[in-house]
Homo-oligomer: A and B are copies of this chain.
Amino acid sequence: MKTQRIVEILKSGVVDTDIVVKGWVRTKRGNKNVAFIALNDGSCVNNIQVVVDLAKISEEELKPVTTGACIRIDGRLVASPGAGQGVEVQAEKLEVYGTADPESYPLQKKGHSLEFLREIAYLRPRTNTFGAVLRIRHAMAYAIHEYFNNHGFYYFHTPIITASDCEGAGAMFQVTTLDLNNPPRTETGAIDYSQDFFGKSCNLTVSGQLEGELGALSLGRIYTFGPTFRAENSNTPRHASEFWMIEPEAAFYELEDNMELAEDFLKYLIRYALEHCAEDLEFMNKMWDKGLLERLHFVLEHDFKRLDYTEGIEILKASGRKFEFPCDWGCDLQSEHERYLVEEHFKRPVILINYPKEIKAFYMKQNDDGKTVRAMDVLFPGIGEIIGGSEREADYTKLHNRVTELGMSERELWWYLDTRRWGSAPHSGFGLGFDRLLLFVTGMTNIRDVQPFPRTPQHADF
């Protein structure tokens, strides 16, 4: 008999049929005559109840059925007379696939701190919390692909190993096959990277955007969705050394189109989560963040307020609020400023545009005022910036001048500049950190708790 997943059994509504269920024991309780096993197979947060008549399956046989053990039950699916579940399985036959010695198995039935669970990251997906988080993670990844596929964006694999750090977005990890103990050296004593695997010094990418622009200027609309890296030695709840990023880039999109895309995209994802992850979200809302569902609806139900950075600064200065970091025109906004605008002033998500060029990247389209660029940041409740993007500078001369002005290497950026030499087009894009999106959608507060195997300074386990 084909095994069904528990999520399908619970949803099907079919009863009075023979059934096989396989999964891991969450709990076992009972009395002299009957035992109740809560069985979970990872397909959903809910367990299926297995009822064991001890006249059919002996207490001795049931001994290895402890929390964490993996079993197979052949039996009959029936409507449940008890409260709390619609159906239950009357066991006819038990097979134990794998035991879990209660003396040693770390995940006994009791609350565990997130800190403890991080130490056993290889086991924590077996808990209700991480099962829920990882299923939501899947659903969001799928929704991202679905959204872009439906909107004519092609998935574009930008390189992970790269010789360019043109954006200067952050500290980088070096990738090498040189023998660190005794690296080859040039006559002057410098490391001889011509003997390294790629014939030059290479790093892990910090962003696929520049290559993504090449894609947009040929395929029209593309998106990346891949791992990116930062070698910054920062231990905060929002920074990981390895994280996944989504970067759409579209030819013929101006800033206005880019804003529309960002708002529509984020709302699509949140609507998708509410529709497809209802049980997992309710679990997270109940166990970890009582404001989670409300915050998701808040984003969904409001038009995003669009305004100039300059106006934003004026509002902040006029607010009378004492911020930890003072802000004035020209400053990069801190999370406290962004959250004030969203949560207190406008009471809706905000898209802030036209930032001072000095605090934004070289590739952003320059406004005629000579001071600002067509940047946009999407600001959310609770977390501040969730998306950063811009219309890109399409004019060769302006871009070239900016590269020179900033002392960047034209010799390294020639291919990027070439896209403006031949067949240049207006185009725009943005970046969304997948793990930060997950923080927002799951209500978790530490990035280490939304990634299966987080990489942070001093941590690269499993």
Contacts and interface: CB of A to CB of B under 8 A. Distances in A.
B42 A219 contact: yes
Interface in A95-152: 97-101, 104-105, 122-123, 125-126, 130-131, 134-135, 137-138, 141-142, 145, 149, 152
Contacts of A204: 160-161, 175
Interface residues of A, number: 104
Contacts of A458: 197-199
Q: Copies of this chain, how many?
A: 2
Interface in A202-231: 202, 204, 211, 214-215, 217-221, 226-227, 229, 231
Interface string A174-201: 1111101101000000110000011110
A299 interface: no
B462 A415 contact: yes
A335 interface: no
Given A161-B173, A190-B181, A97 B394 contact: yes
B191 A180 contact: yes
B155 A215 contact: no
A460 B180 contact: no
Contacts of A101: 421-422
Given A105-B422, A191-B180, A137 B158 contact: no
B423 A24 contact: yes
Contacts of A372: none
A98 B462 contact: no
B175 A178 contact: no
A261 to B, nearest CB: 13
A180 B451 CA distance: 31
A244 B42 CA distance: 26
Nearest to A181: B191
A213 to B, nearest CB: 10
Contacts of A22: 251-252, 425
A181 B188 CA distance: 12
Nearest to A144: B145
A36 interface: no
Contact of A244 (B5, B152, B157, B173): B157
Interface in A77-97: 97
B242 A161 contact: yes
Contacts of A191: 180-181
A7 interface: yes
Contact of A41 (B164, B220, B420): B220
Contacts of A419: 122
Contacts of A380: none
Contact of A219 (B134, B162, B177): B134
Contacts of A460: 159, 161-163, 198-200, 202
B157 A452 contact: yes
Most buried by B among A70, A163, A199, A394: A70
A265 interface: no
A100 B425 CA distance: 11
B176 A173 contact: yes
A413 to B, nearest CB: 11
A68 interface: yes
Nearest to A243: B157
A459 interface: yes
Nearest to A6: B220
Given A22-B251, A252-B3, A70 B453 contact: no
Contacts of A131: 218-219
A161 B211 CA distance: 22
Given A22-B252, A137-B155, A174 B163 contact: no
A334 interface: no
Nearest to A105: B422
A241 B160 CA distance: 11
A24 B180 CA distance: 48
A141 B155 contact: yes
Interface of A: 3, 5, 7-8, 22-24, 41-43, 68-70, 72, 97-101, 104-105, 122-123, 125-126, 130-131, 134-135, 137-138, 141-142, 145, 149, 152, 154-164, 171, 173-178, 180-181, 183, 190-191, 197-200, 202, 204, 211, 214-215, 217-221, 226-227, 229, 231, 233, 241-242, 244, 251-252, 394, 415, 418-426, 451-453, 455, 457-462
